Amino acid sequence: MKRGTFLKTLGFGTVSTLAGGAILSSCMNHDMATMTPAVAPDVLEGSFSTPLSFPETSLTGTALNAGSQNITTITGKNTQAWGYKNGILGPTFRIQSGSTVSIPFTNGLTEETNIHWHGILVPAAMDGHPDQMVMPGKTFNYSFKIDQRAGLSWYHPHPHEKTGKQVFMGLAGLFIIESAEEKAINLPAGAFELPLVIQDKRLNTSGGIDYRPTMDEVMIGYMGETIIVNGVHSPFHNVATRTYRLRVLNGSNGRIYNLALSNGNAFTVIGSDGGLLPAPETVTDLLLAPGERVDLLVDFSKSALNSEVYLQSSVFSGVNFQGRQAFKIVKFVVNKAETDSFKLPTSLPEIAPISSSATTKIRTFDIGVGMGTSGGHGGSMAMKGMHTINGKVYSGERIDESVPLNSTEIWEFNNSAGDEPHPMHLHGTFFQVVSRTGGRSRLIASEKGLKDTVLVMPGEKVRIIIKFTNAGKFAFHCHNLEHEDDGMMLNFEVK
C-alpha cells in the first residue's frame, strides 16, 4: 500500500514532519514488514486539533480490570485497545505517602497477566514479578503501604514474554505519590500540573493497535508511527502565561524521546523516577528512555500570548536506528494572560548520597552482547535469546544474584561493546547513578536524584549504587520491552 492511501485510511488530514522528505522513503505499513529496515518508523504527526485528555484520577485504591476497551481517540474511529477501566491506560492514582492502598485486580483478558508497581517500594509478594501471574478470569488484591517520598511512579503488566504486547495494547497507568514535604514547596498544582504518558503506537489499516514485532524489531524495540499522549494522538492543550508542572512518563516499548520545546526555550528539571532532585537544573533538551519519568517546570510566560509551543522530540545521536527525526508530541496554545507568583526554591528536599565507602560488593553486568557482537547471539538465523545479561537469558527458576539485606552495592552495566540502548530497571529499590563512562560520559539532569531505570547507551558503562532494604525475590531487566521479553532479565534475591 502506498503511504498516501495508508494515511487516508487512518483519517489523518494533513501530515507534517520536521524530517521533510525523508519520511517518504520508509515503510509505514506493517504488511510490508518483509522490507522494513531495522530503523524506527518515521513519526506521522496529526493536526494537533484534538484536546489533550487525562485519565480519571483515583484518590484511593480503585478496582482495576484488565480487558479490551472501546476507544475512539487515536483515529477518530471505534476500535479496541486494552485498558484497566475506561478506555486505553488506567486511572491515575494519587495517593498520600504513609497511606495503605488496596487495589482489587481482575484479569479480564484471555491470557495471563499481573500488575507490576514500577517505582513503588512494595513487598516482594505484591511486586508483580513474572512468577506472580493472575490467570484469566481470576482476581488478586494488591495491597501495600506507601512508604516513600513523593514522586511519579506507574503500573503495568509483567508476564514474561508478553509484557511488550500487553503494554503496547494499552495496559499502563500512572501512580502519583504525594507528601507534606513536597506540598510545602507549592509546586504548580491542579490545572497547572499535567501528567503526560507519552507512547508510540503502530496502527493497522482499520486503526487498531498492531503488535507484531519482526526479528529486526525484537532487536531494536517495537516502535510506532503514531505518538499518543494520555491515549490521544497529536493533542493540544490550552495554557496560561505562567509556570506549569509537566510530569512525564515514557510509556513506550522501545522509543526514546529527546524532550525539548519547539521554540528552543529552556525548561527546568525538578524531578525524576524517585521524586524531586536535590537541586533543579535548567536544560534545553532531555533524553527520556522507556520506563523513565521526569518532572519538569515549563514557564509559558516566556511565550507570547496566542503563540503555540510544542513539546517535541529533538534529534539525538548515539543510536543508529532512532533519534534521527524531530517530531512534535503535544501542542500548547498560550491563550490566557495570567501572572503567577510561583518561585522555585533554589534547593529542594535533600537526598543523602549513598556513601560508596559502605559498598561491600561491585557486580558487573555485560549488556553489550547481541546483534552479532558475540558468539551465540544474532547471526543470520535470529532466534530467541538474542538479548542477555552476562550471557544469560531469563529463567524464572534461577536466582542470579544473592544480595545480603541492608547491604550497599555498586552495580555496573557495561554496554561498551553494544550497539543498542538499554534502559536498565531494578525492581524493589531506588538507586543513585554514580558514573557514566564512554558515550555521553556524564550524568544528565534527571540522573542526579533517585532512579529506578537508567539509560545505558551504546559504548557506555554506567555505575549505580544501591542500598538493598527490601527483602525478597525481584527482577532487574532492560525496559526496552522487546529486549525484556526476549530474555534480557535476571532475578536477584535480597535476604
CB of 290 to ligand C2O, least distance (A): 8
Q: What is the largest CA-CA distance in the chain?
A: 62
**Could you tell me which residues come within 8 angstroms of residue 191 by beta carbon, excluding any fewer than 6 positions away?**
none
**Could you tell me which residues come within 8 angstroms of residue 205 by beta carbon, excluding any fewer than 6 positions away?**
1, 6, 9, 10, 29
Residue of 149, 245, 247, 425 interacting with ligand C2O (CB under 6 A): 425
CB of 249 to ligand C2O, least distance (A): 10
Identify which of 372, 330, 374, 365 has the alpha carbon closest to the alpha carbon of residue 456: 365
- Judged by CB under 6 A, the number of residues near ligand C2O is 10
Closer residue to ligand C2O (CB): 158 or 165: 158
Closer residue to ligand C2O (CB): 156 or 387: 156
Neighbours of 37 (CB within 10 A): 12
Restricting to residues 463-482, name those near ligand C2O by CB under 6 A: 475, 477, 479
Q: Which of the listed partners (ligand C2O, Cu ion, none) does 293 bind, with a CB threshold of 5 to 8 Å by partner kind?
A: none
Question: Residue 32 has what DSSP assignment?
Answer: G
Q: Which of the listed partners (Cu ion, ligand C2O, none) does 255 bind, with a CB threshold of 5 to 8 Å by partner kind?
A: none
**85 binding ligand C2O? (CB under 6 A):** no
- Binding track, positions 97-116, relative to ligand C2O; x by CB under 6 A: -------------------x
Closer residue to Cu ion (CB): 293 or 483: 483
Q: Which of the listed partners (ligand C2O, Cu ion, none) does 30 bind, with a CB threshold of 5 to 8 Å by partner kind?
A: none
- Output the CA–CA distances (angstroms, integers) from residue 294 to 71, 135, 151, 238, 270, in the order listed: 27, 33, 9, 21, 8
Q: What angle do CA 398, 450, 185 make, to 5 degrees?
A: 150
Closer residue to ligand C2O (CB): 156 or 162: 156
Give first-to-last CA distance, the chain, whole Å.
56
Rounded distance, CA 38 to CA 16, Å?
Answer: 23
Closer residue to Cu ion (CB): 177 or 454: 454
Residue of 291, 323, 449, 472 interacting with ligand C2O (CB under 6 A): 291
Residue of 149, 156, 202, 255 interacting with ligand C2O (CB under 6 A): 156
Closer residue to Cu ion (CB): 208 or 378: 378
CB of 491 to ligand C2O, least distance (A): 11
Closer residue to ligand C2O (CB): 236 or 476: 476
Question: Residue 192 has what DSSP assignment?
Answer: G
Q: Which of the listed partners (ligand C2O, Cu ion, none) does 156 bind, with a CB threshold of 5 to 8 Å by partner kind?
A: ligand C2O
Identify which of 274, 246, 272, 273 has the alpha carbon closest to the alpha carbon of residue 260: 246
Q: H or E segment at 269?
A: strand 267-272
CB of 319 to Cu ion, least distance (A): 11
Identify which of 309, 194, 327 has the alpha carbon closest to the alpha carbon of residue 261: 309
Q: Which of the listed partners (Cu ion, ligand C2O, none) does 425 bind, with a CB threshold of 5 to 8 Å by partner kind?
A: ligand C2O
Closer residue to Cu ion (CB): 69 or 480: 480
* Interacting residues toward Cu ion by CB under 5 A: 422, 478, 480, 483
- SS3 (DSSP) at 416: coil
Closer residue to ligand C2O (CB): 149 or 156: 156
Closer residue to ligand C2O (CB): 427 or 463: 427
- Identity of residue 112: E
Neighbours of 341 (CB within 10 A): 7
Q: Which of the listed partners (ligand C2O, Cu ion, none) does 480 bind, with a CB threshold of 5 to 8 Å by partner kind?
A: Cu ion
The DSSP-derived string for 212-268 is: ---HHHHHH----SEEEETTEESEEEEEESSEEEEEEEE--SS--EEEEETT---EE
**427 binding ligand C2O? (CB under 6 A):** yes
Closer residue to ligand C2O (CB): 242 or 293: 293
Q: What angle do CA 61, 66, 71 make, to 5 degrees?
A: 105
Closer residue to ligand C2O (CB): 153 or 234: 153
Q: Which of the listed partners (ligand C2O, Cu ion, none) does 483 bind, with a CB threshold of 5 to 8 Å by partner kind?
A: Cu ion
**Could you tell me which residues come within 8 angstroms of residue 250 by beta carbon, excluding any fewer than 6 positions away?**
198, 199, 256, 257, 288, 289, 290, 291, 292, 293
Q: Which of the listed partners (ligand C2O, Cu ion, none) does 422 bind, with a CB threshold of 5 to 8 Å by partner kind?
A: Cu ion
* Beta-sheet pairing, 327-336 with 308-313: antiparallel
CB of 215 to ligand C2O, least distance (A): 23
Q: Are 309 and 329 in contact (CB under 8 A)?
A: no
Residue of 30, 158, 237, 451 interacting with ligand C2O (CB under 6 A): 158
For residue 338, the cross-strand partners are none
Taking CB positions, which residue lies at the least distance from ligand C2O?
A: 118
CB of 452 to ligand C2O, least distance (A): 8
CB of 51 to ligand C2O, least distance (A): 29
Cell triple for residue 243? 509556570
Q: Which of the listed partners (ligand C2O, Cu ion, none) does 478 bind, with a CB threshold of 5 to 8 Å by partner kind?
A: Cu ion
**Could you tell me which residues come within 8 angstroms of residue 254 by beta carbon, excluding any fewer than 6 positions away?**
217, 220, 221, 222, 223, 290, 322, 480, 481, 482
**118 binding ligand C2O? (CB under 6 A):** yes
Binding site for ligand C2O (CB under 6 A): 116, 118, 156, 158, 291, 425, 427, 475, 477, 479
